[in-house]
Amino acid sequence: MSKNTSVTLGEHFEQIIEKSIESGRYASASEVIREGLRLVDEKEQKIKFLRDAIEAGEKSGYVKNFDPVKHLEKLNRSFGK
């Protein structure tokens, strides 16, 4: 269910909205704001995933005989860097 919410954006963000609408990419300020909120949600989900992965890694214990230089070299070979 939709709900109207009033916010004060300031000139900088108002200009972003105007330019986005003028470009034809968005039809309204609401569309621009919804896209921004989708991006915030996506970012928050990624952060949660990373925090969960860090926590799982910390709980898994330490790896014996880990050589970070060799590991980095292996990653670079695997990903072409």
Residue 16 inside a domain? The answer is yes
The total domain count for the chain is 1
Residue 22 inside a domain? The answer is yes
Model confidence, pTM: 0.68
Q: Can you tell me whether residue 15 is helix, strand or coil?
A: helix
Residue 49 inside a domain? The answer is yes
Nearest to 32 by CA among 47, 43, 22, 17: 17
Q: Can you tell me whether residue 44 is helix, strand or coil?
A: helix
Is pLDDT of 24 > 90? yes
Residue 51 inside a domain? The answer is yes
Q: What angle do CA 4, 34, 36 make, to 5 degrees?
A: 130
pLDDT of residue 81: 61
What contacts 24+ positions apart, CB below 8 Å, involve 71-76? none
Residue 50 inside a domain? The answer is yes
CA 9 to mean position of chain CA atoms: 21
26-35 pLDDT tens trace = 999 999 999 9
Residue 27 inside a domain? The answer is yes
Domain range for residue 36? 11-78
